[in-house]
Amino acid sequence: MYEAVIGLEVHVQLKTKAKVFCACSTEFGQEPNTQTCPVCLGFPGALPVLNFTALEYAVKVGLALNCSVQEFTKFDRKHYYYPDLPKNFQISQYDLPVAKEGYLDIEVGSGQKRIRIRRVHLEEDAGKLIHRDNISLVDYNRAGQPLLEIVSEPDIRSPQEAYEYLVDLKSIIQYLGVSDCDMEKGTLRCDANISIRHKGASVLGTKSELKNLNSFKAVKDSLEYEAQRQQGLAESGREIIQETRLWDEKSSRTLVMRSKEEAKDYRYFPEPDLPPFIISREKIAQIRQGIPELPKERRSRFQKEYGLSQYDSGILVSLKNNAEYAEERFRIWPDKNKKLVANWLIGPLTAIAAQRNQEIFQLEISPEDFLELIELVEKKQAISNLNGKAVLEEMAKTGKPPSVIIQEKNLSQISDAGSLEKDIDEVIAENASSVNDFKSGKTNALMFLVGQVMKKTKGKANPKVAQDILKRRLSGE
């Protein structure tokens, strides 16, 4: 029996206004090479100056990940030659990172599992290469943007755990407000290291490092593929070679990029143009004060304050904006138990948002209208559940209040028995065989007949009332 051993290196771009060692703007989507200066273009003699906000953000992430934040930190040069790196070295951190030895507890099937964080360090991003036909262009707007690298210990034991780790990490960092962590936009990037070993063994196997991962799903899929590939090699007695491999989304395979023999020697040495930095205990305490309620705390609070299940709360808090959107609605819902509201948020509303490729917080439905709809469906039974969902969709589309839509579309639920009698008479007349089935003891036939009433009334009949009448008529007659 083999087990997978996985460690992740995650890069997140920090959301500061200026770059990390110069005053250039970090704004996204500007004309190429318009946000550059002698410092981030690596002109000779230009000197870096540290952006303290970036350092503060790094400390914040370190604290949120339960790291020990270093009072003494310094920067180092990491050398390599590539056109996206104008200085031919990257200012990074080597032996004295901002923070180290933390952890993140993730949820696994059997409970919680602790993934240790090895280090959190601050560095500068490289530029972006754009390949077109047979030319390559370079845009240095990204060069010098602050980047945080978060390295886990090899404590992750399955591709699914890697996925959970990333989801939780992203959520925490978004809550801190220091990065968007959007893999599609490249503000979160991940390299995944994986080896296998006999279950229970204590030594680590030879790892491969997976790159070119463009989504959390790609991280998971590539790790799954790679675990299988390594296991195949091991089982057939072949050697696993330490190498860097690229995930090929199209063929769903990993392909060799380079082996250890070609591995880089970065010739790290201290950055002579920046002094070491001392972050006082007081400053660290002050930054800790500024850490908001994090997803896990909010999840427990939602359970306690609003009577929600752990599962429902977990879904609602994962995205900060969604959590706030939900809470705004919980607050004004008159009942103490907010489960009905949570159900509508997680069920129909999330489905509508997903259809539009959005999150619930982006839907422009006022809290009052939303709650009014829930009340109309769940409490007053003025419209059916099914029509309720249709009304919600219309609300998202038009911004109209539910009562107006119900009136316009004539969707009011028919709950009064008198108005249903005629339709029910017809259904009984038209479905003699089902009626007989019911009378001969096949109780399932009743649900079929209720369905026919719903169909006839275009979903407006109150199914409970229809069922009662049908039952009475069929057994009483």
Residues that bind ligand ADP (CB under 6 A): 5-9, 151-154, 193-195, 204-205, 207
Least separation, in Å, of the C-beta of 161 and ligand ADP? 13
Q: To the nearest whole angstrom, how small is the minimum distance from the Cβ of residue 143 to Zn ion?
A: 8
Residue 84 and residue 175 in contact, taking contact as beta carbons nearer than 8 Å? no
Q: How far is the CB of 399 from Zn ion (least distance, A)?
A: 44
Rounded to the nearest 10 degrees, what angle do helices 310-317 and 295-306 cross at? 130
Are 53 and 15 in contact by the 8 Å Cβ rule? The answer is no
Q: Where are the alpha helices (DSSP H) in 236-366?
A: 281-289, 295-306, 310-317, 320-332, 339-344, 350-355
Nearer to ligand ADP, 5 or 371 (CB): 5
Q: How far is the CB of 361 from Zn ion (least distance, A)?
A: 34
Query: Do residues 206 and 328 lie in contact, with contact meaning Cβ atoms separated by under 8 Å?
Result: no
Nearest to 22 by CA among 118, 143, 158: 143
* β partners of residue 211: 246
Give me the phi and psi of 254, to 5 degrees please.
-105, 140
Beta strands in 40-83 (DSSP E): 68-69, 72-73, 76-79
Using CB under 5 A, which residues numbered 4 to 43 contact Zn ion?
A: 22, 24, 37, 39-40
Residue nearest to ligand ADP (CB): 7
The tokens for 11 are: 């890069």
8 touches, from ligand ADP, Zn ion, none (C-beta below 5 to 8 Å by class): ligand ADP
- Out of Zn ion, ligand ADP, none, what residue 194 binds, judged by CB under 5 to 8 A for its kind, is ligand ADP
| DSSP designation for 287 | H
> Judged by CB, which is closer to ligand ADP: 172, or 326?
172
Q: For ligand ADP, give the closer residue by CB, 153 or 224.
A: 153
What is the distance between the alpha carbons of residues 221 and 128, in angstroms, rounded to a whole number? 26
Task: Output 43 or 311, the one with its CB closest to Zn ion.
Answer: 43
SS3 86: coil
Q: What is the smallest separation between the CB atom of 85 and ligand ADP, expressed in angstroms?
A: 18
Decide which of Zn ion, ligand ADP, none touches 102; Cβ closer than 5 to 8 Å per partner kind: none
Of the candidates 371, 390, 389, the one whose C-alpha atom is nearest the C-alpha of residue 380 is: 371
The token pair at 113 is 């599992």
* Nearest distance from C-beta of residue 63 to ligand ADP, angstroms: 20
- For ligand ADP, give the closer residue by CB, 31 or 265: 265
**Half-sphere exposure of residue 305, counting CA atoms within 13 Å on the CB side?**
12
| DSSP-assigned letter for residue 361 | G
* Alpha carbon distance, N-terminus to C-terminus of the chain: 67
Nearer to ligand ADP, 48 or 154 (CB): 154
- From the list ligand ADP, Zn ion, none, pick the one residue 22 interacts with, judged by a Cβ distance below 5 to 8 Å according to partner type: Zn ion
384-443 residues in contact with Zn ion (CB under 5 A) are none
Q: Which is nearer to ligand ADP, 77 or 320 (CB)?
A: 77
Closer Cβ to Zn ion, 47 or 332, answer by number: 47
Site string for Zn ion, 39-78 (x = CB under 5 A): xx--------------------------------------
DSSP structural state of residue 240: P
- Residue 37 binds what, of Zn ion, ligand ADP, none (CB under 5 to 8 Å, by partner type)? Zn ion
Give which of ligand ADP, Zn ion, none residue 154 binds (C-beta under 5 to 8 Å, depending on kind). ligand ADP
d(CA 67, CA 263): 30
3-state secondary structure of 213: coil
Quick one: which H or E segment has residue 223? helix 216-235
Cβ 21 to Zn ion shortest distance, Å: 8
Smallest distance from Zn ion to CB 38, Å: 7
Which C-beta is closer to ligand ADP: that of 159 or that of 205? 205
Compute the least distance from the CB of residue 138 to Zn ion, in Å: 15
**Where does this chain bind Zn ion (CB under 5 A)?**
22, 24, 37, 39-40
